[in-house]
Amino acid sequence: MFDVVIVGGGAAGFYAAIQVAEQAPHLKVAIFERGKTVLSKVKVSGGGRCNVTHGEFSAHDLVTNYPRGQKELLGPFHTYAPGDVMSFFEERGVPLKIESDGRVFPQSNSSQSIIDCLVGEAEQLGVKVLKNSSVKQFGKNENGEGWQITTMNKHYQCKKLLLATGSNPKIWKQLEAFGHKVISPVPSLFTFNINDERISGIQGVSTFATVEVPPKKIFSSKIGVKLKSVPKEEPVLQAEGPVLITHWGLSGPAILKLSAWGANILHDYHYVFRVNINWTPEYTTGSMELLLREIKEVEAKKTVLRTNATDIPRRLWVNLVKASGIEGDLKWAELTKEKLQNLAKQLTACSFRVEGKSTFKEEFVTAGGVNLKEINFKTFESKIHPNLYFAGEIINVDAITGGFNFQNAWTGAYIAAKAIASG
């Protein structure tokens, strides 16, 4: 018999357990973890450095990083924000640092610092951690006020139950049986698989660009006639930021942002779509043509290949020049109008076919989970079942990369714990 059972030994689970035990030391708290180890996602996050949170201290600005959960998290972030998380770890002997892009890491550059802190605090506060304890079933106990949890060979009772199980289909299925609606999960935060000569052999090149997914045209598979096309309007998705060329295609903050905001759209496209990139966002195709004409006059005797007219990395410039049909020894003076226009288009409206996706490092994030309308965001308690709480990725909240997914976990865990401890 426990007062509080937390299912899931990840960031949200440990944080909630610690907060409950601190605020209500008389409560008997347990964490049930299905695996052999706890905090495994914390271990690999941020390339093993653990991107704890983001140095964005305005709740209004913070929520703009959440494709799903933006409106619902505004109140919670006013209650518990990145500054509070930073104080939590620093007060417990884990100094943190804010890097130039706003991401927050432990000064040790090791996720183990965060793991040791959470595990040590839980131990010190008397939280019981049960590993290899996969929850097979949970339901209301006989009096209907508390909960019964069944693992492989044991039954446990508790008054309050907090689910911090992340993207666990078995738990979602049980919640659906209890009347909760679960938004079907789809991948978020992924990179684009592209096989194209223009980015072949130049992996590691990174540059600031604008990325767009244009409206998708629907063709008849039988006769090849366009049945429906969206007029040339606004792109379906758009993002701006660094784009990284990789062995398998494209990655980097702009691509990850696009994959997060477009998680459902790109899933519907079966991850086969076109993406347009402006490698020189300060120029349109028209203004780039004008610039290239000026360079043609000034640099007439030089070869196009060796005269990088833009700020893009040289290796990318060389590939785009070749893709424009411009030979290696062609001088600017010899550049035809057609080839000049081809180059302007490659620089500002470079179209690629995406065929599939890859997980970004080890950071698998999903869009989907418990319907946000069924959660009270003042307590993170279920509106359907009293004494049932949620924290972390189990709910339909996800964010772009940069520490924001962890912040959702810390905030939800803190608010749920506060409600549990005072209840």
Task: Answer yes or no: are the C-beta atoms of 49 and 110 closer than 8 Å.
Answer: yes
| H/E stretch holding 149 | strand 147-150
pLDDT score, position 361 = 67
What residues have CB less than 8 Å from 27, skipping those under 6 apart? Answer: 3, 4, 20, 21, 420, 421
Strands 155-163 and 2-7: parallel
End-to-end CA gap in the chain? 18
CB neighbours of residue 196 within 10 Å: 15
For 354-409, write each residue's pLDDT tens digit. Answer: 999 998 766 678 899 999 999 999 999 999 999 999 999 999 999 999 999 999 99
SS3 state at 87 = helix
Q: Average per-residue pLDDT in the chain?
A: 94
pLDDT at 144: 77
- For residue 344, list its beta bridge partners: none
Residue 320 phi/psi, 5-degree rounding, is -70, -35
Tokens 């698989």 locate to: 193
Could you tell me how many helices (H) and strands (E) the chain has, helices first? 13, 23
Instruction: Say which range, 57-66, 79-88, 358-367, 386-395, has the weakest mean pLDDT.
Output: 358-367
Amino acid at 137: Q
CB 382 within 8 A of CB 68: no
Q: What is the pTM of this model?
A: 0.90
CA 247 to chain centre: 21
Q: What is the dihedral of CA 220, 222, 223, 227, to 10 degrees?
A: -10
Question: Strands, E, within 279-356: which ranges?
Answer: 350-355
Q: What is the pLDDT of residues 192-242, one digit of tens each?
A: 999 999 999 999 999 999 999 999 864 333 333 343 444 456 899 999 999
Tokens of 100: 């130039």
With a CB cutoff of 8 Å and minimum separation 6, the contacts of 391 are: 12, 13, 15, 16, 162, 163, 164, 380, 409, 412, 413, 416
User: Residues 248-299: pLDDT tens digits?
Assistant: 999 999 999 999 999 999 999 999 999 999 999 999 999 999 999 999 999 9
Q: What is the pLDDT of residues 107-143, one digit of tens each?
A: 999 999 999 999 999 999 999 999 999 999 999 988 8
> Which strand (E) or helix (H) includes residue 140?
strand 137-140
User: What does the alpha-carbon distance between residue 410 and residue 405 come to, in Å, rounded to a whole number?
Assistant: 9
For residue 398, give the amino acid letter: D
In the predicted model, is pLDDT for residue 59 greater than 80?
yes
Which residues, including other chains, have CB under 8 Å from residue 272's CB and lie 6 or more apart? 353, 354, 355, 356
pLDDT value at position 233? 66
Q: Which residue has the tokens 């518990």?
A: 80
